[in-house]
Amino acid sequence: MERRTLGHTGHRVSAIGLGCMGMSEFYGTGDDEKSLRTMEVALEQGIDFFDTADTYGFGRNERLVGAFLRNHRPRITIATKFGIVRQEGRYERRIDNSPAYIAQACEASLERLGISHIDLYYAHRLEPGRPIEETVGAMAKLVQAGKVRWLGLSEVSPATLRRAHKVHPIAALQSEYSLWSRDPEPELLETCRELGISFVAYSPLGRAFLTGTVTTADDLPANDFRRSNPRFQAEALERNRKLAAALAEFAAARQATPAQIALAWLLAKHHHVIPIPGTKQPAYAQQNAAAAGLHLSETEVATLDRMFPPEAVAGERYTPEGMKGLGL
């Protein structure tokens, strides 16, 4: 497994991480035993950078990852997040970046994960109207107290990232990035490169769309959030399927899966990008890990770039409610 340095830290992690969110919520019903096996397979394949958040499953995902960490903590770099406050059974959410809440959220995450410190702690979303200097200042106190090693931000603008980095070094910026979601190009990715910040790409497989396994909404479980996602609505999905078909044809020619090509594209384009595909299937964890050994030529990368022009993608990334707070 290729390894990449996490921002300015000097700490190296697997070039491909593991997103754990879907194990506990959003993508149908979870199976904890299978999810634990998925984590085991990922680690066996060299994936040692795990990503969770306190809001995933209302804390259940952190507890699930914590159960795995009990036997594997020294080998895992663990990232979690705070800031999105939800009530079970309701879609509405609020964002809280207050210093008091940050301290409280950190303690709760440490307890659920069963660890003494968090390696990478992200502000999951920024609270509108609250200065980033106040938020990062409160996060920095956690570093000083030894409860957090490094700081991260998620879905922020280049200008906000620069301001935050002046308060305390930011190790990683997490945002959605894939062949299907190229919003970070070029400014945000270039800002990260300039400041020595890793770009952690979530949903690098387009919420499984790029794998070619979702052709209609009927392919999704009844409790799957993608049923309400604009890109998975009938008309948009029909347009987007042409992109997935082109990727599948490209992948077949390379004797790889579409998911592996999508991940290899990210790794080839930017050496400071670390994709964190999510899965709860052991077989997919193994396939994703193998993408780190798949090398694309500059010509192949350029071909994929042309296949997925941003204007060809139909639908927003989220519903209007989900789009709130992005890019502050």
Alpha-carbon distance of 264 to 260, in angstroms, equals 6
Alpha carbons within 13 A on the beta-carbon side of 65: 35
293 touches 263 (CB < 8 A): no
**What is the CATH superfamily name and number for domain 3-323?**
NADP-dependent oxidoreductase domain (3.20.20.100)
Cβ neighbors of 243 (< 8 A, separation 6 or more) are 179, 180, 307, 308, 312, 313
Helix (H, G, I), strand (E, B) or coil at 54: coil
Q: Which residue has the higher pLDDT, 144 or 316?
A: 144
pTM here?
Answer: 0.94
Residue 324, pLDDT > 80, answer: no
> By three-state DSSP, how is residue 6 classified?
coil
Q: Which residues pair with 79 in a beta bridge?
A: 51, 120
Among 164, 178, 177, 79, which residue's Cα sits nearest to residue 126? Answer: 164
Confidence of residue 30 (pLDDT cuts 50, 70, 90): confident
Q: Which residues are known catalytic residues?
A: 56
Residue type, 197: I
The pLDDT tens digits for 173-222 are 999 999 999 999 999 999 999 999 999 999 999 998 899 888 777 788 88
- Structure tokens that stand for 190 in this block: 């270039």
pLDDT tens-digit profile of 295-315? 999 999 999 999 999 998 888
**What one-character-per-residue DSSP string does 270-317 give?**
-TTEEE--B-S-HHHHHHHHHGGG-PPPHHHHHHHHHHS-GGG--S-S
CA distances (Å), origin 17, targets 50, 281, 309: 6, 14, 26
Going from N- to C-terminal start, the domains of the chain cover: 3-323
